[in-house]
Structure 1
Amino acid sequence: MKNEIENALAVLKKGGIILYPTDTVWGIGCDATNSEAVEKIFKLKKRSDKKSMICLVNDYKMLNEYIEDVPEVAYDILKYAAKPTTIIYDDPIRVAENIIAEDNSLAVRVAKDDFCKKLIRKLRRPLVSTSANISGSNTPQSFAEIDPLILEGVDYVVNLHRDKKSGKPSAIIKLKNDGSVTVIRK
């Protein structure tokens, strides 16, 4: 795993994009503070840049570095969630402008996957995580189902867990600073 972390890290630091296994599905990722790298992902996925993407952080400390004010209830939701859970927060800071939604929010998940946590810790920045598919296509359930256009379009493909079935996409909850909670995806 150490070599894969170092290889992926080298690509990320140069503004490249990677294909990697997460705690949910195979993801396409880049440094979430690099707007040019984020733009590469939008182009590869043929996705409207009006749609925002999820970021992964490795712990609560990093979450607090990139969200202006994390509501207290977020920690309870994350502590008791039975499955990987992404929360959409208001007022992100220090990330690329083009991953922030029009309503000034950002979807963030605290990674549980060991590879992701270690990679993010070494990068010392959030990692974009969007499903490894062309926009509008089904999310691949395994590495073998990933579209060749995606495989050819990334700068590095992580060589881990290629035989493992993907999990389900994370639950998504929108948590507004005013305290309102909306479940987007169970």
Structure 2
Amino acid sequence: MIEETLEHLVNGNTILYPTDTVWGLGCDATNSEAVKEIYKIKNREESKSLIVLVSSLEMLKKYVTVPEKAVQILENTTKPTTIIYSNPNGIASNIVNKEDNTLAIRIVQNDFCKELIDKFGKPIVSTSANVSGNPTPKSFSEIERAILDSVDYIVNLQQDKVSEKSSTILKIEGEEIIVIRE
């Protein structure tokens, strides 16, 4: 399963896969054409940035400068936590927030995703598997037909539910930690 998913990521395809939070739409976060497809599938404006998943703190540091405060949060959190970082590099430009040059990144806690990203060697996009504006599906069976028909590959891990909750999103500005989503 990982090998087949990897092949799709390497070829610039889109995937539907279970993450450590919800079922997600994903692709190679360094491939702007693949990212464009995710926006198209979600019917979402490219001005709205997406979340990116990495497998480790080491991988995270390849793409952003990680403030010490973020390291402390990441080392002590027990739930999926996404942090917004400034000035990412090596990432598809159409995934970065144009207004302030930031990117939301999470170190994934799900074994399948961690192994997939480790083997891929690059970050992958993670955005909820729904058309923009529609409710986030809480299980595979709630994913809209339009989404299922639009992705190049669906990871079949024989699990319906992943989590009922999206990740916490934080932004660190200097010494201040701003909670964007709990």
TM-score range normalised by the length of the shorter chain: over 0.9
Q: In structure 2, what is the Cα distance between the partners aligned to 1:61 and 1:156?
A: 28
What are structure 2's unaligned runs of at least 5 residues?
none
Residues 9-24 of structure 1 mapped to structure 2, 5 A cutoff: 9-24=6-21
Q: In structure 2, what is the Cα distance between the partners aligned to 1:181 and 1:32?
A: 26
The question of 1:44 aligning with 2:34 is answered: no
Match of 2:128 in 1: 131
Q: Deviations over 1:113-148 (max 9, x none)?
A: 000000001110001000000000000000000000
Q: Residue 146 of structure 1 is aligned with which of 143, 148, 151?
A: 143
Number of residues of Structure 1 aligned to a counterpart in Structure 2: 181
Asked if the contact 2:52–2:123 (Cα under 8 Å) also holds between the matched residues in 1, the reply is: yes
Asked if the contact 1:23–1:167 (Cα under 8 Å) also holds between the matched residues in 2, the reply is: no
Match of 1:84 in 2: 80
- For residue 161 of structure 1, report the CA deviation from its aligned partner: 4.2
- For residue 175 of structure 1, report the CA deviation from its aligned partner: 1.6
- For residue 78 of structure 1, report the CA deviation from its aligned partner: 1.3
Residues 71-110 of structure 1 mapped to structure 2, 5 A cutoff: 71-102=67-98, 103-110=100-107
Asked if the contact 1:26–1:132 (Cα under 8 Å) also holds between the matched residues in 2, the reply is: yes
What are structure 1's unaligned runs of at least 5 residues?
none
Secondary structure of the 1:108 match is strand
Q: In structure 2, what is the Cα distance between the partners aligned to 1:17 and 1:165?
A: 19
Q: In structure 2, what is the Cα distance between the partners aligned to 1:169 and 1:32?
A: 19
Q: In structure 2, what is the Cα distance between the partners aligned to 1:154 and 1:77?
A: 34
Asked if the contact 2:20–2:162 (Cα under 8 Å) also holds between the matched residues in 1, the reply is: no
- For residue 15 of structure 1, report the CA deviation from its aligned partner: 0.5
Asked if the contact 1:21–1:161 (Cα under 8 Å) also holds between the matched residues in 2, the reply is: no
| TM-aligned CA distance change 1:66 to 1:143, over 3 Å | same
Q: In structure 2, what is the Cα distance between the partners aligned to 1:60 and 1:80?
A: 13
- For residue 162 of structure 1, report the CA deviation from its aligned partner: 2.8
Aligned residues: percent identity?
55
Corresponding letter in the other structure for 2:38: I
Q: CA RMSD in A?
A: 1.0
| TM-aligned CA distance change 1:22 to 1:90, over 3 Å | same
TM-score, L = length of structure 2: 0.96
Match of 2:60 in 1: 63
Q: In structure 1, what is the Cα distance between the partners aligned to 2:74 and 2:103?
A: 16
Corresponding letter in the other structure for 1:86: T
Secondary structure of the 1:166 match is coil
TM-score, L = length of structure 1: 0.94
Secondary structure of the 2:137 match is coil
Q: Deviations over 1:136-173 (max 9, x none)?
A: 00000000000001001000000014333533000000
Asked if the contact 2:18–2:162 (Cα under 8 Å) also holds between the matched residues in 1, the reply is: no
